């Protein structure tokens, strides 16, 4: 007797085929949406930065240990502030790309504050794997970069960017473009860049203005900071204002 064929939604060969790509894309939209709603996530502060930065390591060009420690401390202070706001149902979650380096540091800082935190991993052939500090119920794994980026920013109320490579630059400039073109429907969206000397060496933002490629006011989209204390002084009042005045 011939066996029943598997239902299409249980057929792994079909689901991993080119023909089912739209189903996989839709799944990477709907599954995170469902889980974030179940966990009552409505606000986040997103940390971007290199997976290659390690605690205790530095080289001639970059003090990776300082970057790691400051990312952890800044996330800890933000998560502690969120714990205070949570008493009035205005809390937020620290969100990262879920991997090692700066991502691990930020998740670690949030966990140290006793706060739930989000890790949005992506399947890559190297470097990327979930760190040990992500809240298990908020640990995500993506295949498509663009779906991961959507969920990075969907609930985000601010962005904190530490030194990083191509991936960090990609995420930073996509966010800047969305804010500049008002595709990110938020009246205020703080974008903080850690370590001014690094960023000013790597990207000559004023040159873009000089060449007429961006407006001078576009430079106001970025705020540089050098320590967790500076970051908190700038971000804390803005974040509190944004969240308290947020309308669903």
Q: pLDDT tens, 126-183?
A: 767 899 999 999 999 999 999 999 999 999 999 999 999 999 999 999 999 999 999 9
Domains of the chain (ranges plus CATH)? Answer: 42-244 (3.40.50.450)
Q: Could you report the per-residue pLDDT of 85-102, keeping only the tens digit for each? A: 887 777 999 999 999 999
Tens digit of each residue's pLDDT (9 = 90 or more) over 170-207: 999 999 999 999 998 777 899 999 999 999 999 999 99
Q: Which two tokens stand for residue 197?
A: 């000397």
Q: What's the pLDDT at 245?
A: 84
pLDDT value, residue 25: 97
User: What whole-number percentage of the chain has pLDDT above 90?
Assistant: 88
Q: Say if residue 115 is exposed, middle or buried (CB neighbours under 10 Å; 0-12, 13-18, 19+).
A: buried
User: Given this model, what pLDDT does residue 248 score?
Assistant: 63
């Amino acid at each position: 007797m011939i066996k029943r064929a598997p239902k299409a939604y249980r057929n792994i060969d079909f689901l991993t085929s080119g023909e089912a790509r739209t189903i996989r894309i839709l799944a990477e939209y709907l599954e995170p949406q469902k889980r974030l709603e179940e966990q009552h996530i409505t606000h986040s502060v997103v940390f971007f930065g290199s997976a290659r930065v390690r605690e205790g390591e530095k080289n001639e060009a970059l003090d990776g240990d300082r970057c790691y420690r400051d990312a952890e401390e800044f996330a800890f202070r933000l998560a502690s502030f969120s714990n205070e706001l949570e008493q009035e149902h205005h809390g937020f979650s620290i969100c990262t790309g879920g991997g090692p380096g700066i991502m691990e540091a930020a998740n670690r800082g949030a966990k140290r504050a006793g706060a739930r935190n989000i890790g949005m991993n992506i399947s890559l052939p190297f470097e990327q794997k979930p760190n040990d500090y992500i809240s298990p119920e908020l640990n995500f794994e993506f295949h498509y970069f663009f779906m991961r980026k959507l969920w990075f920013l969907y609930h985000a109320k601010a962005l904190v960017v530490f030194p990083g490579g191509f991936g960090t630059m990609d995420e930073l400039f996509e966010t800047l473009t969305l804010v500049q073109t008002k595709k990110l429907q938020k009246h205020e969206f703080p974008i903080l860049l850690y370590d001014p000397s690094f960023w000013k060496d790597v990207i000559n933002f004023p040159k873009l203005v000089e060449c007429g490629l961006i407006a001078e006011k576009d430079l106001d989209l970025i705020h540089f900071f050098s320590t967790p204390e500076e970051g908190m002084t700038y971000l804390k009042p803005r974040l509190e204002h944004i969240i308290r005045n947020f309308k669903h």
